[in-house]
Structure 1
Amino acid sequence: MAAGAIAGLVSTSGVVGTAGAADARPVSSPATPGTSPSAQAEPRWTAAAAQRFWTDRRMAEAKPLPDDRRPAPAEAPSPDAGRPLSQRAGVGPGSSHFGGLPMIGRMYVQRGSGSYFCTASVINSPHHNIVLTAGHCLDSRAGTGSLAFVPQWTAARPRPHGIFPVDTDSRGRSQVWIDQRYYDRGHTKGAPWDVAFVRLGARSDGKRVQDVVGGNALVTGRGYAFPRVRLIGYPSTDRQPLTCTNSTTRFTPTDGTPGSYLRIACDDYRSGTSGGPFLANFNTHTGRGDVVGSIGGWKTGGPTADVSYSPYFASDIRRLYDAAVAGAPPARPGVLSQ
């Protein structure tokens, strides 16, 4: 890498103070003028390939990623573990399983011989092909293919809207946008940037995901306190997603993790829910809302299942979204050492 390029990366991904962590500019290369995502090379990972690989059985047997929402080392198992949700006494409102929403689903990942998933949601975009999930779900897997998004997955209806492959470039690398600082600093020091935008390819009939299931608006810079947020995620091996509504508050860690985070109390959001959207202004008639956060950030979403966290969605997140929409070259792990 040229010295000037390295200097540019260092200057934009250098250490920032806690107060400004959420507002510092992320590292991303500008898009080539006049180039849109549709001008990319022919993908190697197609909808047909995704359908063949992600069978109903493989999806049903998939598990949450091993590093997703790990409990704190000293945390004792919950006395409610294994009880039905209706019998649990958590710290937040009771969560409930439901049939899901069309624009929220599972993001499937293959790692070695294992099949895994996180939660992801469709974000309104000009090209109708962007979804949001947690950075820690994809930070070590962004260079590989075989990623796919399945909207509104349930065990009873595993692919009600089809399957959408994650786009790959001419080298077969998945098109995933994560802030360079998250790659460089890891899950703790990089927690304010635990966000990933993913560009999807078309369904087998050529339709884009937003045209099929709709999407939610990305909202940034609106603060931490929202009176009513609907939280949706796919926990563990449950047959349906969870939903819960509660208010959010600001949380600033005292353990050395930089930044501040949205916090919401909702029961039983276990591993697998990471990437699940925080939906403000949710309209029960349309099933849509404003995405003001996504499960992740501090302790990759929280050390317990009954309180969830999100990075603060400020200008950093907006710029990362803009880079994904423009098709700017994504950051990659270890770019400074290459």
Structure 2
Amino acid sequence: MHDQPPPPRRVRLRLPLAAAVLLAAFLTPQAGAADQSAGGGADYRPTAAAAGPAATPAQAARIHRYWTEARLHRARPAPLPHPRGRQHPTPRPRPEAALPARTIPGSAPRRAQPDTAAPSRTAVVSAARRWGGQGLMPARTIGQLFFTTPAGDFRCTASVINSVNRNMVWTSGHCVHPGGGGPGAYYRNFVFVPDADNGLAPHGPWLFRYAATTRAWQQYGDWHYDLAAIAFHPQPVHGNLADYLGAQGARFGSGQDHRDVVNFGFPADGYRRTDFDGGDLWYCEGPTSAVGATGTGMVMRCDMGHGSSGGPWIDDLRLDRGWGYIVGTNSRRDVDADGNWSDDLIYSAYHGNAAMNVYTEVSAH
């Protein structure tokens, strides 16, 4: 038997119309004791990257065999949850100096995409609209991330991000780890299906190699640090993600106030919406702003729900080149006393020191 992953299959990924009921253990960040080596103690740095699991090519081949068409079909949209318990669960660390701001340009696929009429856009879109434009950037760089948790198989949204390893995607921390519980709690069987379109996988899957999130998310489930990155093995047919599909850029340490950000996701439900089914790429567009006086998070208006977790917030998206700069990801929503979404606000962790550290960690794999 060959250890190398077999060529990708054109599989159908059609998902149910309604999100399934999620187990409480998956929704709620887990409490976990942390010693100094795992991120606790006086020198604790919440923004440090927390090294996660890795997969050899042979292990990646087993992941490929795990994801049968039936399992892909049954994968449930991951929650776009709200913080539970303490709002600041991490120990109070010593102040960290901000790292120098960093800008990483995006990149075009090795084969130029054709000139095609771009989807119409307006300055503010808080009620999500279908994106269309499948097969072209930016849609081909955005896809569905499938993974296995103790509660079953789920899916998030993720985006290819430009990196030296040419095989990295960007997403939210709760799409790779439950939050709290330490390094042994990472999810399993990650596979990325870019440009997913109404149940089709036009480019096949890319198979898991390495994942990391922040120490604050891994140890304490701190929503201010809900971000992650995953590296994948090159695909036998198409090679590297960024070379074949193109990649979005990134801006780290660029502040929370952005005038025109496009937020992408594959929502299966939403705030006062009944027309999402998880099969299409949708978008919102508008300004972002800081959350609270401390500026430890970002917020914008968008009504996408479960399944859009991890979707990129892209600043300065120019359709003539197909890429912009990731400045955030879909992380959480507000709820009322009954646990129902109370508004159309959606939040992201601030992409400063923590995002830079995670990006650097996963770029090296």
TM norm structure 1: 0.70
State the partner residue of 1:243: 283
Do structure 1's residue 201 and structure 2's residue 233 form an aligned pair?
A: yes
Q: Any conservation in 2 of the 1:105–1:152 contact (CA below 8 Å)?
A: yes
Aligned-pair distance for 1:5?
6.8
In structure 1, what is the Cα distance between the partners aligned to 2:233 and 2:126?
37
- Residues 311/206 of structure 1: CA separation in 2 closer, same or farther (3 Å cut): same
1:318–1:7 Cα change, 3 Å = closer
Q: Which residue identity lines up with residue 26 of structure 1 in the other structure?
A: A
Structure 2 partner of 1:210:
242
| 2:252 counterpart SS class | coil
SS at match of 1:147: strand
SS in 1 for 2:127: coil
Match of 2:195 among 149, 152, 156: 152
2:163 paired residue among 125, 144, 158: 125
- Is 1:282 aligned to residue 313 of structure 2? no
Deviation string for 1:92-131 (max 9, x for gaps)? 6331123350111010012357321011011100110111
User: In 2, Cα distance between the equivalents of 1:41 and 1:63?
Assistant: 23
Moved more, 51-60 or 234-243: 51-60
Distance 2:353 2:44 in 1: 15
RMSD, matched Cα: 3.2
* Equivalent position SS for 2:243: helix
The separation in 2 between residues aligned to 1:103 and 1:131, in whole angstroms, is: 9
Contact 2:156 2:307 in 1 (8 A): yes
Show structure 1 runs of 5+ residues with no match: 15-23, 30-39, 73-90, 168-174, 328-338
Aligned to 1:264: 300
Verify: 1:62 aligned to 2:75, yes or no: yes
Q: Which residue of 2 aligns with 1:37?
A: none
Runs of 4+ aligned structure 1 residues displaced above 6 Å come to none
Instruction: Name the residue aligned to 1:231.
Output: 263
Structure 1 position 139, deviation (Å): 0.9
Q: Percent identity?
A: 25
2:109 matches 1:96: no
Residues 104 and 151 in structure 1, CA contact (< 8 A), matched pair in contact too: yes
TM-score (norm 2): 0.65
The 8 Å contact of residues 130 and 199 in structure 1, kept in 2 or not, is answered as: yes
Q: Deviations over 1:197-219 (max 9, x none)?
A: 11111213260111111111121
Q: Judging changes above 3 Å, is the alpha-carbon distance between structure 1 residues 162 and 308 closer, same or farther for their aligned structure 2 residues?
A: same
Determine if the alignment matches structure 1 residue 26 to structure 2 residue 35. Answer: no
Superposed displacement of residue 64, structure 1? 1.4
Q: What amino acid sits opposite 1:69 in the alignment?
A: P
**CA distance in 2 between partners of 1:195 and 1:163 (Å):** 22
Match of 1:252 in 2: 292
Instruction: Please say if residues 60 and 155 of structure 1, whose CA atoms lie closer than 8 Å, have aligned partners that are also in contact.
Output: no
Look up the match of 2:351: 313
Q: Distance in 2 between matches of 1:274 and 1:41?
A: 24
Q: Which residue of 2 aligns with 1:166?
A: 208
Q: Does 1:219 align with 2:251?
A: yes
Q: 1:303 to 1:180 in 2, by over 3 A?
A: farther
Q: Cα distance 1:96–1:298, how it changes in 2: closer, same or farther (>3 A)?
A: closer
- Shift in Å, 1:50: 4.4
Q: List runs of 5+ in structure 2 lacking aligned partners.
A: 1-34, 85-123, 179-183, 269-276
Q: Return closer, same or farther for 1:138/1:269 CA change in 2, 3 Å cut-off.
A: same
The farther-off stretch of 218-227 and 112-121 is 112-121
Partner of 1:182: 217
How far apart are 1:137 and its partner, in Å? 1.5
Contact kept, 8 Å, 1:145 with 1:166, in 2: the verdict is: no
* Matched AA of 1:43: P
- Cα offset for 1:25? 4.4
CA drift of 1:45 comes to 2.8
Compare the two structures and name the one with the higher strand fraction: 2
**Would you say how many aligned residue pairs link Structure 1 and Structure 2?**
269
TM superposition shift of 1:9? 5.6
Distance in 1 of aligned mates of 2:38 and 2:140: 44
